[in-house]
Amino acid sequence: MSSTDATNWQQEANQCLLQGNYDRAASLYEQAIAYGTSATIASEPDIRSHYWHLGLMLLLQGQEAEAQMTWMLGMEEGDPEQIENWTKQLIEVLQTEAERQEILADNSVAWGIRQHIREINSTDINNLLHLIQLAIKLNSFTGEELNSLGAIETLQSQQLLALDSDLLMQVLRLVLDTDPLHPSSLEFAQACIPYIGEPYIFLDILILTSVKIAYSSRQPRLAASFLELGLSLAPQNPEVLIQLTNFYQDAGEYSQGIETAKLCYSILQELPEKVFANHLILRGLMVAAGEYWAEASSVFARHESLLQSLFESQQTNLDPTTVVRLFSSTFFLPYFRDDIKTNRRLQNKVAQICQSNIQKYGSDREPQYRKRKFSTSKIGSTPNRLKLGYLSHCFKRHSVGWIARWLLKYHDRDRFQLHGYFINAQQRNDPLQEWYVNQVDKAYKSGLEAAEIVEQIEQDEIDILIDLDSITLDIICEITSLKPAPVQVTWLGWDGSGIPAVDYFIADPYVLPESAQDYYSETIWRLPQIYLAVDGFEVGVPTLRREILNIPSDAVIYFSSQMGFKRHPDTVRLQMKIVKEVPNSYFLIKGTADRESIESFFTEIAESEGVSCDRLRFLPDVAFEEIHRANLGIADVVLDTYPYNGATTTLETLWMGIPLVTRVGEQFASRNSYTMMMNVGVTEGIAWTDEEYVEWGIRLGKDATLRQQIAWKLRQSRQTSPLWNGKQFTRNMEKAYEQMWAKYIQN
């Protein structure tokens, strides 16, 4: 037979392979290796590649045993060196076909072929990586494959000269996108380190994964573990350190979080970055609280100086990431002082700088909405329902989530169409979040990409966008700065954001003083009674008992439950003066902070005021809010914080019928409890000075009859108070929305 004939039949066999006619291709190869002469094909039993291809054709027909026997037959009579070469040839044939099947997206077939490659060479790392990749594409990946296939063990051998580093990074990214929480995922990432060609690719993968783990899965400690791998390659990478700072602080590793923030500050040189890094230090100190307050005060003074320098420098070309981070740089202002004029001035200036820069790098973007002019007589009619967009990352088991639900529950669907924008909610399993999803006409669960969310809001043609988070989430600020809706409102969050693109800030007659509009860039829209309302709270079974805490049954119990950064030393000192003057009284302290630091902090102040530390009890957090509320029942009097009052905690206290002592100030944060108490008809416990705060605390502690009278008023208020009337509150908000829209279309 001529060489041309040989070429022709092999071309035919290859064509049959491409057409999926594996049986015909197998027949051709069988004739080629058979002894004797076919009418068209000469016998070539010594050409080993025919065996490899015949076995492949059999494998593609599902005849695995026959395929393996064919390959073994081809290996017969070979010496070790020949067998080694033949094995390489066989793997090349299988590898080529596996790649072809992957191009065809026939991943099941490719998986089967690569499993045979693995049986032939179990340490072929590139093949193992492809198998992991295929498992992910086939949706069969469980995370166990990283070990069961031997990929991690093979990588750890560190003898892989032929490893495809690009493939390794592709597979790492896929693995971490698919199941970053599996224990083997972290081990796999660690095993990749010796083979990193370009550190920034690896770091990028780690950063994206860790952010997802920390904020979507709420596992900051695991997120930190991933980023710690990056430190071995880039110990002073600013982005790694910034994210690590947040993860450490959120995981309760306070000292490490503070030290990492300080390292960030020392590395970053540009003024805007210094502002943000200083904020990270401040955040670490405030979250740890307690003994860190003294240092926090010093860092806060430096922060104000940095902010002033920022204002004077006329920053107009800031990096987009830096701009977004600057939004939160003023977060702790109201925790340090009750100064509405100064605090709002700083807040408004930062927000203005950020918005100007955001709109500059988005200057090619044209707002998609247009003024929809129609008469006010049509407002509320079904064909022209106002489209309301509620924007938050707190539609879940969160203080905002517990409070906001009544508004969505009672909305008039004949007059309003509701859209919910659930920020960073893609992988969260939260019953309250699912409740919110079911309350809106359209729910959009997103990650942390502001541009995508802005586009969605514009596509939905939202009329009024209501932001519930203010500066507590920088992505929200970026979204509202780009003005995706013609009317934008801030409600319920930290305070007004100061962003010029936000039109209104929801308040009431009490929560802001009459002069407040002088200090806000937003128009303050005052509802007639209260700026929020709930129908009540779910209450579980209490886990606290006096005997467990070693407190006598006739003792007076003061209670305070707040985050550590609300524990201003001056207010704690006032609280100790109260405890000192009320015999047989105890102080229960609950809230997230560095436990050792907070205990030392309270003990030191108590001793300086002549209060024995035996009268203090430090309580751990409980798993569920329902239990926390039930445990409030152990208290005789709750002592509020200042200059930043409680909000949800005040609502819960009043709902449980417990007297409250609050110090009223001039800023929004120091008037929350005031407006709530005024709306339940209880003025006993409202203090306008430090002296009154102490006086009310002592009086309520000593006067059991007065406490009973207040408790009775609070129980009665459930039937009469605007605070406990979610439906009426919703009607007031809806009226406000319609008036806002009417003003908009008239302009």
- For residues 49 and 191, state if they share a domain: yes
pLDDT at 1: 44
The answer, yes or no, to whether residue 380 has pLDDT greater than 50, is no
pLDDT band with cut points at 50, 70 and 90 for residue 74? confident
- What does residue 448 show for φ and ψ, rounded to 5 degrees? -120, 30
- For residues 24 and 88, state if they share a domain: yes
The answer, yes or no, to whether residue 6 has pLDDT greater than 70, is no
Domain boundary among 197, 227, 249: 197
More confident residue, 511 or 44: 511
The answer, yes or no, to whether residue 534 has pLDDT greater than 90, is yes
| Rounded Cα–Cα distance for residues 685 and 8 (Å) | 99
pLDDT band with cut points at 50, 70 and 90 for residue 484? very high
pLDDT at 367: 61
Question: Tell me: the pLDDT tens digits for 315-336?
Answer: 778 888 999 999 999 999 999 9
- For residues 620 and 662, state if they share a domain: yes
pLDDT band with cut points at 50, 70 and 90 for residue 707? very high
Minimum mean pLDDT among 15-29, 71-85, 373-387: which range? 373-387
Q: Residue 208 domain-assigned?
A: no
Q: What is the mean pLDDT of residues 171-179?
A: 96
Q: Residue 465 domain-assigned?
A: yes
Question: Tell me: the pLDDT tens digits for 231-289?
Answer: 989 999 999 999 999 999 999 999 999 999 999 999 999 999 999 999 999 999 999 99
Question: Tell me: the pLDDT tens digits for 639-653?
Answer: 999 999 999 999 999
- For residues 383 and 357, state if they share a domain: no
The answer, yes or no, to whether residue 368 has pLDDT greater than 90, is no
- For residues 637 and 512, state if they share a domain: no
Q: What is the mean pLDDT of residues 377-394?
A: 73
| Rounded Cα–Cα distance for residues 454 and 485 (Å) | 9
Q: What is the CATH number for 79?
A: 1.25.40
Q: Residue 311 domain-assigned?
A: yes
Give the number of other CB atoms < 10 A from CB of residue 214: 22
pLDDT at 215: 86
pLDDT band with cut points at 50, 70 and 90 for residue 362? low
With a pLDDT cut of 70, the percent of the chain lying above it is 95
Q: Nearest 5°: CA angle at 743, between 737 and 747?
A: 145
pLDDT at 198: 83
- For residues 567 and 479, state if they share a domain: no
Domain boundary among 144, 164, 197: 197
- For residues 460 and 403, state if they share a domain: yes
- For residues 26 and 71, state if they share a domain: yes
pLDDT at 261: 97
Residues 6+ apart with CB under 8 A from 679: 510, 529, 530, 721, 722, 723
pLDDT at 378: 41
- For residues 448 and 322, state if they share a domain: no
Question: Tell me: the pLDDT tens digits for 182-201?
Answer: 999 999 999 999 999 889 99
For the chain, the average pLDDT equals: 92
147's tokens:
């070990």
The answer, yes or no, to whether residue 108 has pLDDT greater than 70, is yes
Exposure string of 343-363, with b = 16+ CB inside 10 Å and e = fewer, is bbebbbbbbbbbbebbeeebe
Q: Residue 239 domain-assigned?
A: no
The answer, yes or no, to whether residue 3 has pLDDT greater than 50, is no
Q: Residue 538 domain-assigned?
A: no
283's tokens:
């955040």
Q: Residue 225 domain-assigned?
A: no
8 Å CB contact between 566 and 336: no
Q: What is the mean pLDDT of residues 447-464?
A: 93
Long-range contact pairs involving 199-202 (C-beta distance under 8 Å, separation at least 24):
199/233, 199/234, 201/169, 202/169, 202/172, 202/230, 202/233
pLDDT at 365: 60
Whose CA is closest to 250, among 215, 289, 208? 215
pLDDT at 41: 67
pLDDT at 376: 42
pLDDT at 428: 61
Whose CA is closest to 702, among 543, 587, 583? 583
pLDDT at 447: 81
- For residues 28 and 163, state if they share a domain: yes
Q: Residue 370 domain-assigned?
A: no
More confident residue, 215 or 735: 735
Residue 273 belongs to what domain range?
Answer: 268-361
381's tokens:
């009619």
3-state secondary structure 192-253: HHHHCCCHHHHHHHHHHHHHHHHHCCCCHHHHHHHHHHHHCCCCCCHHHHHHHHHHHHHCCC
Number of domains in the chain: 4
- For residues 498 and 580, state if they share a domain: no
Domain boundary among 336, 361, 386: 361
Residues 6+ apart with CB under 8 A from 408: 390, 418, 420, 436, 439, 440
The answer, yes or no, to whether residue 296 has pLDDT greater than 90, is yes
The answer, yes or no, to whether residue 80 has pLDDT greater than 70, is yes
Q: Residue 745 domain-assigned?
A: no
pLDDT at 499: 97
The answer, yes or no, to whether residue 683 has pLDDT greater than 60, is yes
Question: Tell me: the pLDDT tens digits for 538-597?
Answer: 999 999 999 999 999 999 999 999 988 999 999 999 999 999 999 999 999 998 888 899
pLDDT at 115: 94
- What one-character DSSP code corresponds to residue 492? S
Q: What is the CATH number for 401?
A: 3.40.50.11380
- For residues 46 and 145, state if they share a domain: yes
